Amino acid sequence: MSAERKVRPFYWSVRRELWEHPAIYLAPVGAAAVGLLGFGVSTLWLARAVASPVPRNDSLMAPYAFTALAVMVIGVLVSIFYALSALHGERQDRSIQFWKSLPVSDTTTVLAKMAVAMVVMPLAALAAIFGAQTVMLVVSTIVVLVNGVDPARLWPRVDMSLMWTVLPYGLLINALWLAPLYAWLLLISGWAKRMTFVWAFAPPLALALFERLAFNSTYVIHLLIERVLGGFGEAFSIRGEGREPIGSFSDIDPIHAFSSPHIWGGLAVAGLLLALTIRMRRSRDAI
Amino acid sequence: MPCIDARGLRKRYGQTLALDGVDLRVELGRIVGLIGPNGAGKSTALQAILGLIPHEGDLTVLGRDPWTARQDLMADVCFIADVAVMPRWMRVRQALDYMEGVHPGFDRPKAEGFLARTDIKAGSRVRELSKGMTAQLHLALVMAVDAKLLVLDEPTLGLDILYRKQFYDTLLNDYFDHSRTIVVSTHQVDEIEHILTDVVFLDRGRVVLDVSLEAYEARFVELAATPEGAATARSLGPIHERHLFGRSLQIFEGVDRARLAGLGELRTPGLADVFVAKMGGGMPGREKAA
């Protein structure tokens, strides 16, 4: 018997997800590329804007902010559809029989898929945003120089220090916030035979409808909307209240964010749903 | 320690009893053919052995309970179901990378050596390969694993005869040695007959025959009876009789060859014929033999 090599099932399980779903990194890159393209056209007017006095609503930061937002929204969308297909596709194309013939546990498999939606996707988004914004800064500086304007007049107006602090911080909060949603989608993906999207969203909406008609209250629908759409508000507004966006370093309040019962409650629910998903995959076969 | 030890293995799907108390013991170094008609429970038995489904009854594979220890077990067990389970998006190179990354017993140069003898290119995706090439790829991956048990569930279904023959030849020449065990299910009996050391017939969830090939040769005999000998032979209780070109062909189980010697030509019947005899139902003499 030859000495057994060291293996890394979790790492390779994540790698194989990226092979199967290149959209995880291509979609953020695509969104960033569109942002860059729009920005490229706008540089025609850049030199004049930099040479002019600073207006009250300075829009020089707009391409940076909108590109970041677009990449993040696309990222969450890709994660949602990825999670919905992650445990469904392998049953539909019968490859689950191949995966299960290898010494990789259901726990490793499910956690790798969760990590792709919750960790790899935000990291890909972050990389795409940083890349695009760096290119924007460099191109802006060159355009301004070529037009004979002092770049020192540009740089203070596109100060990235706050944005480059808030982005990783906000993406982390957003990922934690969305963890129960991703775990729920994985559970449905491993359970439903078809129409995973409908199974994922129709029953909660039906519950909300029932609640509204039976008790004339709206807890469920608010909980759903808050959990699905509230991540960015939680991440990028002051104290996660969704009113004022974070505008200065003093607005960043990690102690408040990480002591939020909504974050921890959500993570607990995510843990429970993942445990169910792992347990279910053990007895799942091709469909 | 036997490789597979099942006692009273049962599995129920709704109203259907897929396995109805299967006892099966497979020693290391054997090549066991699991043979039965459609719906006999072959796949269910193999799935239980691989830890893919829960079951009732006692079952250990390489000393482990497959249902609770699938991950550990799969380090020593390889499995090929039918040809269509390799992920279609995967490139051959990725399959090698992945196997190397997750399987402690995978020998990459060995797999590449097997692949070099085929037309499969490292950059191809599985979806671009023919069925036969996909089977070759899966077999190359599996043969490069230092596994103790290889389970094959209808591995050549849908392949043409050249690939089918090559599949079993490769398996026997390049893979099997007496430290390994192979369990193969199929209903194409004649194709695997010559490679087996043991044969198990399953019918409606029950084991109806479990013999080594040596014991099989002693136990079953086929008589091509002479016209005069046919009636005498019939009185000895054949488990099956058919007529071919006007001659009576009778299969006997556990009847001394010496008693049949004068009644016609004797030979060892093919597995397919015994299979029909045991499974056929309603054959003259079946009750007597049972």
B81 vs chain A: nearest CA distance in angstroms? 7
- Cβ neighbours for B96, distance < 8 A, ≥ 6 positions apart: B108, B111, B112, B122, B141
Report the residue from B72, B88, B94 with minimal CB separation from A93: B88
Asked if B85 reaches chain A (Cβ–Cβ under 8 Å), the answer is: yes
pLDDT of B13? 87
Percentage of residues of chain B with pLDDT beyond 90: 44
Residues from A contacting B (CB-CB < 8 Å) are 1-2, 4-9, 11-13, 15-16, 19-20, 90, 93-106, 108, 282-283, 285-286
pLDDT of residue B282 exceeding 90, the answer is no
pLDDT of B234? 85
- When pLDDT is cut at 50, 70 and 90, the band that residue B288 belongs to is very low
- When pLDDT is cut at 50, 70 and 90, the band that residue B146 belongs to is confident
**ipTM score assigned to the predicted complex:** 0.89
Chunked into runs of 10 residues, chain A (287 residues) has average pLDDT values of 75 97 96 95 87 83 92 96 96 92 95 97 97 94 89 87 91 94 97 95 95 94 88 82 82 84 93 97 86
CA A239 to chain centre: 20
Backbone angles phi, psi at B87, to 5 degrees: -60, 130
Residues B189-198 have pLDDT tens digits of 888 888 899 9
Interface of B with A in 51-70 (CB under 8 A): 52-54, 70
Domain locations in chain A?
9-282
Tokens representing residue A196 in the block = 């995973």
Instruction: Name beta bridge partners: B210.
Output: B200
pLDDT of B286? 40
| Interchain CB distance below 8 Å, B104 and A5 | yes
CA atoms of A240 and B22, how far apart (whole Å): 61
Residues B172-182 have pLDDT tens digits of 888 888 788 99
* Residue A4 falls in which region: left (phi positive, over 0), alpha (psi -120 to 50) or beta: beta
Average pLDDT over residues B245-259: 87
State which fold the B4-204 domain adopts.
Answer: Rossmann fold (3.40.50)
Answer positive or negative: Cα dihedral of A105, A108, A114, A120. Answer: negative
Domain locations in chain B?
4-204, 215-289
CA atoms of B180 and B162, how far apart (whole Å): 25
State the CB neighbour count (10 A cutoff) for residue B8.
14
DSSP, residue by residue, A100-112: TTSS--HHHHHHH
pLDDT of A37? 95
Report the residue from B84, B89, B99 with minimal CB separation from A94: B84
pLDDT of B192? 85
